[in-house]
A and B are shown apart, each in its own frame.
Chain A
Amino acid sequence: MSINENDVILQVQDLKKHFMPHQGLLQSLGTKTKKVIKAVDGISFGIRRGEIFGLIGESGSGKTTTGKLVMKLIEPTSGKIVFNGEDVTITDRGRTKAYRRQVQMIFQDPYASMNPRFKIRDVLGEPLIIHKIEGDRLRHEEMIIKSLTEVKLNPPSDFMGRYPHMLSGGQRQRVATARTLILNPMMLVADEPVSMIDLSTRAEILHMMKDVQRDLGLTYLYITHDLSTARYFTDRIAVMYLGRIVEMGRADDVIDNPIHPYTRALIDAVPEPETGMVDIIKELPISGEIPSPANIPPGCRFHTRCPYAKPVCSEQTEPELSDVGNGHFHACRRWKEL
């Protein structure tokens, strides 16, 4: 795979999303300042054309929020999103629509992402109607069949008349993928596309997605908490913790030579079905829950759970991402000592 290293299709710069919690009338009169929920707190990354970029983190790390920000389903608090050389952070309705034709999303729950009252034909026809794709019903039908074939739902005519509840999870996720492909997008945001699918079907779906990506030259933003699929599926990885990227680099690099303690912990947490290991529950170096994004620890935000934390970690300012060479970034000031 030859990728032009500099051909960046999506550039995210210092993107922030802070949610204001709901307050009653009396609360807002009170002196207490609002606790702002910092779901995404200043992240920057670039995705190259034709690349699969993985965004990894545990629940509450802000990875889904990032996906929604990229999809423009929610407005960022600050920062910049540049897609294909165009600043799309703030767009009017027409440009948003044009943007959504080029960037599509696959949702986590294939059972909920399709209107239960729509047949597969209607599910796939909807983007064509929304974007007023030229052609009569027959032409649309052809396009629907083509995209169903692309996701390997054969024969397509069998599926078109069915309702989503008549399909298995894997089939649904294929339909969801077909729905995104029908508009010939440049980029797909896949938010944990296989996390709710049976293990046995996961690989198949990922295979299919990878084939589609190769065939159509797509770019993926793959959001997941699952390191094993990330390694298999992605080219580059960014690890998120509490709204920040703590480590980013080529998938193999990050997983084989993790630098940040959080990444190490994540990798250690992956269970391995090996002989002799089955009965052993791993002892993880980190413990506890991810802190509330409304109350982010000072200094390095990971220090509360970090096994190597020193007073310096909480006293000094937050470490920025720094390169160790070959495009491997990390945000740990004590990495050399570890």
Chain B
Amino acid sequence: MSMKDFNFRLLEFWSDFRREKAGLIGLGILLFSVLVVLLEPVFLPYKDVNGNWRNISYWEDNSDSAPPAWTNIFTTKKSATTRQFDKPAVTEEEDASYGPVKMYSFPYKYGYDLPPLDLIIRARASGMALMLLELERPDGLIVNLGEMYRDGLEDDDIRFAIDTESKANVFDFAREYASAEAISTSDAQNIKPSYILFSKTGTDMLSARDALKGEYFLHIKVPAFLLEDENNTLDDVRLVVTGRVSGILGTDTSKRDIYSGVVAGLKWALFIGIITSVISVLIGVLYGIISAYFGGFVDTAMSFVFEVFVSIPVLPVLIVMSAIFKPSIWIIIASLIVFSWVGPVKTVRSMALQIKEETYIEAANALGATKWRIIFKHMAPLLLPYSFANMALSVPGTIVFEASLSLLGLGDPTIITWGQILHDAQVSGATLNGLWWWIVPPGLLIALMGATFAFLGFAMDKILHPKLRTR
């Protein structure tokens, strides 16, 4: 078939396809998914989620079990959301105790009712790092959050969490305003710094927690002499506000951003689904044609093998196989193929039996064509449309199977799949703890991917098999 013919056929197919609404919806979702996979970094708030999904320290700045940020819309008391700031305003200042300093300032507009859980300062530094941390409040008060001092750094990440490291300083700040009675019943270890920092001052500030809304500034003062020494560098100064609600889809109990996991899982769902169904349908179609064409003993033997495979319960066998082999994505794909090639065999065999009796097959035979020429040149092309439809229709099954395996904890630990996210949710009792944002999105997406390919498959089936059009 020349290129021109192919284009013509494609156009013809497209003009039919355009009329299938479900097919168009499927195609739309599929194209969007492919776009998301290709532009994955754009969609990922956590760029390094691939490879760090099971790295606990990668997620430590997040709050755990945080609902999605948009849940604020439905609550009366708004919670601070998790935010990251990485572009501080840098100025030269004079400090009373430090002398000339380089000051990194992060403005933070606070307009919530419930304060964030923590403020985390991060930077990358070499040599010696010394910084004075201050929070400038909307009421003009400046709270000293303490000093961060690290030495012997070699381009290392440094981290300062106010929630643990500024307790004493914040308690000192509260001591100035709170009633003596309140101070005496409390101590520096059992206060929550962020609650005090984002509340109005007053005698009952330790218990009242009246939100002080307005613009805050976090100042990081670094002595100027320190940076004059070339051995000392300080880059990449960042502020993370650990909110009570986080991101598009919240976080799980391990502080992981579920949205990032779901986006990163999309490519694996597509990969596993498409690779497995393409290979298994090709095998199945060829198997059916060969079985039908050769007939007789070959047909009987091949049908027997088919019956054996079709009657094996797949999931238990896959569980055993995953248990024997080290769970890897390739093992999973291979074992899925081993059991899903049987899908198209029966139909293809019956179609091929019909094609086999066509006069042009006999004519090709009379011309001296070999069996393989007849199979590949005359029979297979006629079954190609069916194969394409079948491929699309078998994708949902494979996605669900992978998800089932992962849900049972038999997935590949080096990748992120929706099934694995669901597995973690199940193990952590997400349903019991009401972490619906951990369960619903991956579950819905598995269903949506399945529906996408099912829509595509039905539409193709209808177009390529006009006899089915009445359906």
Q: Which residues of A approach B to under 8 Å, CB–CB?
A: 71, 73, 96-97, 100-101, 104-105, 107-109, 112-117, 126-127, 130-131, 176, 179
**Residues B368 and A97 in contact, CB atoms below 8 Å apart:** yes
For chain B residues 335-389, which have a beta carbon within 8 Å of chain A? 358-360, 362-370, 373, 377-378, 381-382
Given known contacts A115-B378, A117-B381, A100 and B367 CB-to-CB distance under 8 angstroms: yes
Partner of A114, one of B363, B366, B368, B370: B363
Q: Collect the chain A residues with CB atoms within 8 Å of residue B360's CB.
A: 112-116
**A-B contacts, 9 listed (Cβ < 8 Å):** A96-B368, A105-B366, A107-B359, A115-B364, A117-B381, A126-B369, A131-B368, A176-B363, A179-B367
Q: Which residues of B approach A to under 8 Å, CB–CB?
A: 358-360, 362-370, 373, 377-378, 381-382
In the complex, the chain A residue whose C-beta lies closest to that of B370 is: A130
**Residues B368 and A105 in contact, CB atoms below 8 Å apart:** no
Q: Collect the chain A residues with CB atoms within 8 Å of residue B378's CB.
A: 115
Interface of B is mostly: helix
B358, B368, B373, B381, most chain A CB atoms within 10 A: B368
Partner of A107, one of B362, B368, B373, B381: B362
Docked Cα-Cα span, A104 to B366, in Å, equals 7
Docked Cα-Cα span, A176 to B373, in Å, equals 19
CB distance from A296 to the nearest CB of B (A): 27
In the complex, the chain B residue whose C-beta lies closest to that of A182 is: B367
Docked Cα-Cα span, A108 to B366, in Å, equals 14
Q: Collect the chain A residues with CB atoms within 8 Å of residue B359's CB.
A: 107-109, 112-113
**Residues A73 and B373 in contact, CB atoms below 8 Å apart:** no
Docked Cα-Cα span, A96 to B366, in Å, equals 10
**Residues A130 and B367 in contact, CB atoms below 8 Å apart:** yes
**Residues B382 and A101 in contact, CB atoms below 8 Å apart:** no
- Can you name 16 extra interface pairs (CB under 8 A) apart from A100-B366, A112-B360, A127-B367? A73-B365, A100-B368, A101-B368, A104-B366, A112-B358, A112-B359, A113-B359, A113-B363, A115-B360, A115-B378, A117-B382, A126-B367, A127-B368, A130-B367, A130-B369, A179-B363
CB distance from A331 to the nearest CB of B (A): 30
Q: Collect the chain B residues with CB atoms within 8 Å of residue A107's CB.
A: 359, 362-363
Docked Cα-Cα span, A130 to B364, in Å, equals 9
CB distance from A211 to the nearest CB of B (A): 23
**Residues A73 and B367 in contact, CB atoms below 8 Å apart:** no
Docked Cα-Cα span, A96 to B378, in Å, equals 20
CB distance from A144 to the nearest CB of B (A): 14
Q: Collect the chain B residues with CB atoms within 8 Å of residue A112's CB.
A: 358-360
**Residues A71 and B358 in contact, CB atoms below 8 Å apart:** no
Given known contacts A115-B378, A117-B382, A126 and B362 CB-to-CB distance under 8 angstroms: no
CB distance from B367 to the nearest CB of A (A): 5
**Residues B365 and A104 in contact, CB atoms below 8 Å apart:** no
CB distance from B6 to the nearest CB of A (A): 12
CB distance from B437 to the nearest CB of A (A): 52
CB distance from B2 to the nearest CB of A (A): 9
Docked Cα-Cα span, A126 to B377, in Å, equals 10
B362, B367, B377, B381, most chain A CB atoms within 10 A: B367
**Residues A71 and B366 in contact, CB atoms below 8 Å apart:** yes
Given known contacts A115-B378, A117-B381, A105 and B369 CB-to-CB distance under 8 angstroms: no
Q: Collect the chain B residues with CB atoms within 8 Å of residue A126's CB.
A: 364, 367, 369, 377
